[in-house]
Amino acid sequence: MLRASSKAKNENFDLSLIIGKAGDGNIPHGALLVAFAEAALGADDARLADTQVKIRAAIGDAALVDAAAIVATFNAIDRVADATGIQIEDAKAQSTADVRAALGINAFAESRGEVADPRAAQPAPQMAG
């Protein structure tokens, strides 16, 4: 949606920011927001507290709440999709092919439909008889 809305507004975001490219991705406070997302999903409480302070100072309390809600939502959506094995729809796969290739997302097994079935590693139940 960010990509589509940015095209509609003639904005040019560089989403490679999310895979470690330096800079802000042409997104206001982009590097800070990515640092917050990484800290929120990590195990370093000091880093998280530091990024929270920086966001509050740079863009305010409401922005911190919004950023936290977005991180939580995307984390939950990914977990649900991974847990259920949901595959990307054909139309979305076609419309996002270029950005997925540019970001290296296609290298992940899940993006190729190779989600491991946890039942495959378990022996079949034995019938008593």
pLDDT given at position 124:
43
DSSP tag of 22: S
Which is nearest to 78 in space by CA: 37, 118, 43, 48?
37
pTM recorded for the entire structure: 0.62
pLDDT given at position 129:
46
Which residues does 50 contact at the CB level (< 8 Å), separation at least 6?
39
Tokens 């370093």 map to which residue? 44
pLDDT given at position 21:
74
User: Mean pLDDT for each 10-residue chunk of the chain (129 residues)?
Assistant: 69 73 82 92 94 97 96 87 80 83 74 47 45
pLDDT given at position 88:
78
pLDDT given at position 119:
39
Distance CA 103, CA 105 (A): 5
Q: Where are the domains of the chain?
A: 2-109
pLDDT given at position 20:
73
pLDDT given at position 70:
93
